[in-house]
Amino acid sequence: MSDSFRDRRTHPRYDRQFELQGAPEEGGVVARMTADNLSEGGLYCTSTVDFPEMTRLAIRLILPFTKNGSTETEPIDVEAVVVRRESFSASNGDARYKLALFFINVENGTRESLSRFLAG
């Protein structure tokens, strides 16, 4: 990744792996995804479904956290747009897609939840 691309980022990225789901805002198939990294402004993930660039998605982040010694999850709903995509073959030969998602219209409470997760 070029330095000029990194310099355009407003929020630092953190390596965080967790599950999420995404579907086009106008409806359609729900994709299972796995995040590779996350920031307050977006995420990079692997998807079972291909979404073209500029597709608006309804995303449900399933963030893990520890409470009283056990791992629980907190679902967070955000809107995102696909800003970059790349296809590849999984080890079993199935098609998979690397997607860079940019969050849009993030509410303050959602941003605070993301900040808490990233700080932990």
**Three-class SS state of 93:** coil
For residue 9, what pLDDT is reported?
A: 58
Give the distance, in angstroms, between the CA of residue 19 and the centroid of all CA atoms in the same chain.
9
Supply the CATH classification number for the domain 3-119: 2.40.10.220
Cβ-Cβ contacts under 8 Å for 54 (sequence gap 6 or more): 81, 82, 83
Q: How far apart are CA 4 and CA 27, in angstroms?
A: 35
For 72-84, the pLDDT digits (tens) are 888 999 999 999 9
Q: Is the per-residue pLDDT at 22 higher than 70?
A: yes
**Distance between first and last Cα of the chain:** 27
Delimit the domains of the chain by residue range: 3-119
Mean pLDDT (whole number) for 32-45: 94
Q: Are the C-beta atoms of residues 58 and 76 closer than 8 Å to each other?
A: no
Which pTM value belongs to this model? 0.83
Greatest mean pLDDT among 8-12, 13-17, 80-84, 94-98: 80-84
